[in-house]
Amino acid sequence: MGKRQKQVTHRINSRRENSKEIPIDLLIDIFSRLSMADIARCRCVSKLWSSVPRLRYFTELFLKISSARPRILFTFPHNGKRIFYSISQHLHSEPSPFPFVPYYHMSFPKGKGSSYDYEILAPVRGFLCSKASKPMIYNPSTGECKTLPRAMTKRTEMKTYFGYDPIDKLFKVFCVSKVLLASEDFACRVSTLGTGEVYWRMIECSIPHRPLRGEICIDGVLYYVAECIGNKIPECYMVVCFDVRSEKFKFLVVEFIFWCSTLINCKGKLGVLWSVPFGLTHELTKYFVLWIL
């Protein structure tokens, strides 16, 4: 009996040694080589594996590696839901015998209210944010979403923007009152994500303005087109520059900018694009004008 007991004890100890958790550094290296779908599956294995995609170092590493294989993310409403798919950006210029199959990421039901609940802000480092009065943050890679508290003033609606601070590596949601007159309540609020409880903070803005369409975040600065409120010059439009880290404003009053101008990232610099004749792009468009900061 003594010899048999020793053999059983030896087997148990061997199993314990073989069942030790994989070192975190090795897990990060393995996860960085997997696809988004495989990473999502691996998160179900254990608490340790589930924590790897949330590590800031892993996020930076995965973004660096995935930039070599970019994908196009597209979304559309269907049967009361918003659905997200992605396709490879490296498309074949010539016809291919292989079928082209998009990858399904996630879907979520339409919120209460109008079609405004369907609107999604431009993606920031793989994350998405809805423009609804009660914003939601989406991670298409993992299929997760998080609802933020409602950001409303007493009398006016809020327009939502989404930005990223590359120095402190923090995401922030920024809301501005959609006022029409200078006499209305104008307010700006910001919420920092990933720091515990989510809440809104009031920030000061020296020039009241009405936020319009279009937004883009470049190197920690959030840009959007706005209309001056209470300005003597009719239809005076400008580009608002909001520094995500310092939460300070700057304003660019450009002579040739319109409410329908589109903001783009032109090799790391802000580009303002509009069509001629003035207006949205349609069959009468003759050419485009690009202004680069």
- Does the pTM surpass 0.75? The reply is no
Q: Report in angstroms the alpha-carbon separations of 204 from 158, 190, 248, 293.
A: 15, 11, 8, 25
Edge-to-edge strand ranges of the sheet holding 136-139: 128-129, 136-139, 144-147
In whole angstroms, give the CA distance from residue 3 to residue 177.
79
Q: Say what the pLDDT of residue 223 is.
A: 93
Q: Say what the pLDDT of residue 155 is.
A: 59
Q: Say what the pLDDT of residue 37 is.
A: 72
One-letter amino acid for residue 148 of the chain: L
**Tens digit of pLDDT for each residue in 125-147?**
888 888 766 788 888 877 778 88
Beta-carbon contacts of residue 246 (< 8 Å; ≥ 6 apart):
none
Q: Say what the pLDDT of residue 115 is.
A: 42
**Tens digit of pLDDT for each residue in 149-163?**
887 666 567 888 999
Q: Say what the pLDDT of residue 116 is.
A: 44
Q: Say what the pLDDT of residue 112 is.
A: 46
- State the 10-residue block means of pLDDT for the chain, 293 residues long: 51 50 81 78 82 78 73 81 79 59 76 53 83 78 79 72 91 85 76 84 88 86 85 68 94 72 86 73 75 84
